[in-house]
Structure 1
Amino acid sequence: MKKSKHLIIHADDAGLCHSENRATMEALKKGIVNSCSIMVNCPWFYEMAEFARENPFYDYGIHLTLTCEWEKYKFGPVLPVSEVSSLVGENGYFYRNRDLLREHAVASEVKKELVAQIERGLRFGINPSHIDSHMYSLGAREDLFDVYKDLGKIYNLPVLLNRELMEMVGLDCNQNLSEEDLVIDKTHYGNFDYFKEGKLKEYYTSVFDNLVDGVNLILIHPAFDDAEMKAITINHPNFGSEWRQIDFDYFTSQECRSILDERNITLINWKDLSK
């Protein structure tokens, strides 16, 4: 893997809602997006789990979730709130951001909830290729990151570990990574400035010219800019419905496929990393 440039094009947030599911399913079928991860605690999880059972040849991870960033669309833990009370606010939903999670979460309750999330995915027939972290919230504190890595060992699954994501959440890479860890060499993801300036597509195209030797990962969030997604992402243009439609349109386009072919880029998925 270190001798050439490999790429995973990965869709986060499957299971979040019907719009996200439809877009993720279609993107997987078109073959450029070749990996996704599923939020098992969200209302539309069952639809995505059913798709995964019926289409086991695609690559599915469990998107471990401890935060809910949306203003009016709320979700919380799989376990009863009474068992993981440090993970929720006064109304029983997950906190909106990493800072609140960092302040309140008890590590033992985090592990208990995340085990329940993984077990729910397994119980519904998902055969996960990896686990990753919604909003990379498990990087909020070192002890939570330890839980994250430990779950990979318990379930014998690769865990999304990457220096760019760790730096984004303020976690010291040197203190929290070891030589035995499987680390994604480079993670690429759009930022709000690209979106505001109408240059997300240009950014994604530039990624294909800036891959590093080893394993590269592009994180995207495909969904449709429809009434459902607009309502969920109200007052939240960062990774909002318009952004997610751009992700879907670009990564299902012939333009994107042609660029991949022209650059002779090798697509892999998390299953390949486990071989």
Structure 2
Amino acid sequence: MYEFSNDKLLMIHADDAGLSTSENQATIEALQTGSVTSYSLMVPCPWFYEMAQFALANPEFDYGIHLTLTCEWKNYKFGPVLSKEQVPSLVDKNGHFQKNRALFQEKARVEEAEKELSAQIEKALDLGLKPSHLDCHMYSVATSAELISAYKNLGKKYDLPVLLSKELMAFVGFGAETALEDDDLLVDHLYVGEYQYFEKGNLKKFYGDILDNMEAGFNMILIHPAFDTHEMKSITEDHPNFGSEWRQQDFEYFTGQECKSKIKENGIQLVSWKDIMSYKT
């Protein structure tokens, strides 16, 4: 069981480290100078090794494995760490991950997905990484009750908490009641930026309103900090949702003074996964 105090506990978590060097450098700066308290690494991505070296050299920062089963980008592709022959249901004709959750759900076999996710964790461990938790890119694990169960089993196998959230499940269209159990560790309130706010230029206000109205319990804000460089523009071409400009705004807000002031003014306590696990009874 996990019993959280009446305090406003907040984890500001940076997804997608390893996606690009721009993502890596922004994540590092957000950890060192901003309010970000946790991040997770995408093992299959080309720039994973750069961020892994940072993690090894800076163990004081909390990090997990961003388990990856999809690749949404138009011109930037990656695939499983296992060979396509070992996990044929996870890849397209070119050996890359499927581009969205719908295609993944249609084609993927649960046993192959679990095998690939285990291989990603093992690859990180073989480098000497000591992750604090597991989470999932695009929350693709929430495409079936069987896959959610496999995801939770990986947490048990490696003795790591897994990110479970009713809000995330609803976001990807999955009914939480079919997959959650009474003793699961759940995020009480999880927030992800919404495209409507970005499109209208109100993304930073969206984040500020969350901080001003935060409730007690285990809160999490998922962000994707990166610099709006040529590299990120190329990766996110024709994909403004969580695109390069959006990621720059994430970086700016969560390293800025307004964010720090609101956290202090609203009596919010920043936490990592390691802190959260101390609440286990």
Shift of 1:234: 0.3
The 8 Å contact of residues 52 and 60 in structure 1, kept in 2 or not, is answered as yes
What residue identity is the alignment partner of 2:132? S
What residue identity is the alignment partner of 1:76? G
2:231 matches 1:231: no
The match for 2:83 among 74, 80, 84 is: 80
The match for 1:251 among 251, 254, 263 is: 254
Q: 1-side partners of 2:103 and 2:88: how far apart?
A: 13
The 8 Å contact of residues 60 and 126 in structure 1, kept in 2 or not, is answered as no
Q: Report Cα offsets for 1:6-42 as digits up to 9, x if no partner.
A: 0000000000010000000000001410100000110
2:26 matches 1:23: yes
Instruction: Identify the residue that residue 129 of structure 1 maps to in structure 2.
Output: 132
The match for 2:11 among 8, 12, 21 is: 8
What residue identity is the alignment partner of 2:183? E
Shift of 1:2: 3.9
Query: What count of residue pairs does the alignment treat as equivalent?
Result: 275
Shift of 1:212: 2.2
The 8 Å contact of residues 40 and 62 in structure 1, kept in 2 or not, is answered as yes
- The DSSP-based 3-state class of the residue aligned with 1:83 is coil
What residue identity is the alignment partner of 1:195? F
Q: 1-side partners of 2:9 and 2:277: how far apart?
A: 14
Percent of residue pairs bearing the same amino acid type: 56
- State which drifts further: 167-176 or 89-98: 167-176
2:173 matches 1:170: yes
Q: 1-side partners of 2:118 and 2:161: how far apart?
A: 15
Q: 1-side partners of 2:82 and 2:113: how far apart?
A: 11
Q: 1-side partners of 2:237 and 2:193: how far apart?
A: 20
Q: 1-side partners of 2:126 and 2:51: how far apart?
A: 14
2:222 matches 1:219: yes
- Any stretches of 5+ residues in structure 2 without a counterpart? none
Q: 2-side partners of 1:124 and 1:239: how far apart?
A: 29
2:117 matches 1:114: yes
Q: Report Cα offsets for 1:211-252 as digits up to 9, x if no partner.
A: 222100000000000000000000000000000000001100
The 8 Å contact of residues 225 and 250 in structure 2, kept in 1 or not, is answered as yes
Q: Report Cα offsets for 1:168-217 as digits up to 9, x if no partner.
A: 11222122111110000010111110000000000000001222221000
Q: 1-side partners of 2:34 and 2:206: how far apart?
A: 21
Q: Report Cα offsets for 1:88-113 as digits up to 9, x if no partner.
A: 01110000100001000011101110
Instruction: Identify the residue that residue 139 of structure 1 maps to in structure 2.
Output: 142
Q: Report Cα offsets for 1:65-93 as digits up to 9, x if no partner.
A: 00000000000000011000000011100
- After superposition, the CA RMSD in angstroms is 0.8
The 8 Å contact of residues 49 and 125 in structure 1, kept in 2 or not, is answered as no
What residue identity is the alignment partner of 1:180? D
Instruction: Identify the residue that residue 51 of structure 2 maps to in structure 1.
Output: 48
TM-score, length basis structure 2: 0.96
User: Structure 1 residue runs of 4+, over 6 Å off?
Assistant: none
